[in-house]
Structure 1
Amino acid sequence: MLKKSIVKSALAIIGVFLLASLFAGCSSGSEKSAAPAQPSGKQEVTVKVGAAVVPHAEILNFIKPKLKQDGINLEVVVLDDEGQLNPALANKQIDANYFQHVPYYESVAKEKGYNFAVAAKVHVEPIGFYSQKLKSKEELKEGATIAIPNNPSNEFRALALLQANGLIKLKDGIANFSATPRDIAENPKKLKFVEVEAAQLARSLPDVDGAIINTNFVLEAKIDPKSALFREDANSPYANDLFVRKGEENRPEIKKLTEVLTSADVKKFIQDKYGVAVVPAF
């Protein structure tokens, strides 16, 4: 009898534990089903874009909040020497750069071994002729000195602008957006040319009769772009583009960046902030 009582007691204890486990399991299961699983947050992606100070970095900073909402942390990288933005992209220090047009890129790509692609055309900065001494191009005297950019693509661009305004005539058959004063076929005013680093052209104005300056450097120097005696029109082929390494154009974060960078909001921002100095190219 004693043995049977012990067995019964043991079975009763085991039963209690089994029931407790069963209820605990039910309780746990019901708690899980009552609180639906939260969707896992998408991890933020950082995109580094190298840019010129004005207007490029300003435009990129304008779109930062929108990209943040889409899970992209845009890091704008500004270097003292813009010439290092292509090496930085080639060496994967940045994901894209935004400071150059296709003719400039093509003038350096082969020599440097760059293999980039245009992800988006963003804006044109109409290059213009500025002077602290003249009020109109008609005041240009024989033998006047004009400062022009010393890099191949912008040098051609400057000479082409002078040709479009009837001041010189270039030789026929010039290709690849490359020309120097040696390629001038006709120069009725016997104009003299000084080749200057593009970023230094604004500083050269007191020493020359005029200079042809890229608008980003005009803006940086706090010169009113409306003061240009003449400038390119909006049909210029020199659109400033967002460049990426070839094959990376379809990265989701790059596609989102280009989408926002060429949106109606950015077009309005450019028009409102820069007026004639910067023209949307999209």
Structure 2
Amino acid sequence: MSAGSGIVLFRNVEIVILVFFVITTLLIISLFAYLQEAVSPPYLVSIITALVLIAGVAIAKLSIEPLREHFDQLEHFSREILHELNLPINTIMTNTAMLKKNIEDERALKRFHRIEAACGMLEERYKELDYLIKKQMQRERIETFDVADLVVERLRLLKPLYSNARFEEDLESISVNIDRIGLAKVIDNIIDNSVKYSPKNAEISIVIKNKKLSISDKGRGMDEVELFQIFDRYYQSDESDLGFGIGLGLVKNYCDRYKIKLHVNSKKDKGTTMQLDFSGVA
């Protein structure tokens, strides 16, 4: 969230507190005057109202100031973390590329390819963190792009990391006008889960047809109870699995935001298909 949007947020909260205070106080005064059947001079009402407004503003500011200070510190800390992440990632990628030029051993080259792929993933996580911060700033990058091109781009990055997985692709063109970085994150999460919950030699099918993107695996699958819980934040079907179980929750939030219909079809020990239906996207 930017400083500008943060100011708007706090101003709105201050206004709510102020309005609530003023309305409550005026109601109490009116009720008291009615019960006492007091006849007060006209200027007295104006004085009381002015005092109520001043008190309301003061209370609103005192209530919000600690939160505003904490927010400013958090925003500064987030930007510092982003800067600190960017430097080592660029350093690793640059030096790896230079060292690889002098390597002829095939095994060593494969290791360098893994380092590059892992560093590419770190760079993607950096972009995701930057994306989440910009999302809070309400500055998402809405652009027109081809979903098939984005899938190809993501697979080019992910395949070296999932060397034991086999991917089958059948991609038709879909032109959409939505947040590209967010959709890339959604695709990464679904593919990662497909590989994670599949046997060692995972078989992943990715199909785009009739404005629908389907990602299928032949992994452990889920029963009906698990299907009801998979989008709950921090839910994990197996507590021994690594990770925090927040990926599918983010997937659902993104799809809801951009009116993408999300369908999940899964059977225990048979595999899972996750489908993104873009037919409703403006």
Structure with greater strand percent: 1
User: Structure 2 length normalisation: TM-score?
Assistant: 0.21
User: Structure 1 length normalisation: TM-score?
Assistant: 0.21
Higher relative contact order (CA 8 A, sep 6+): 1
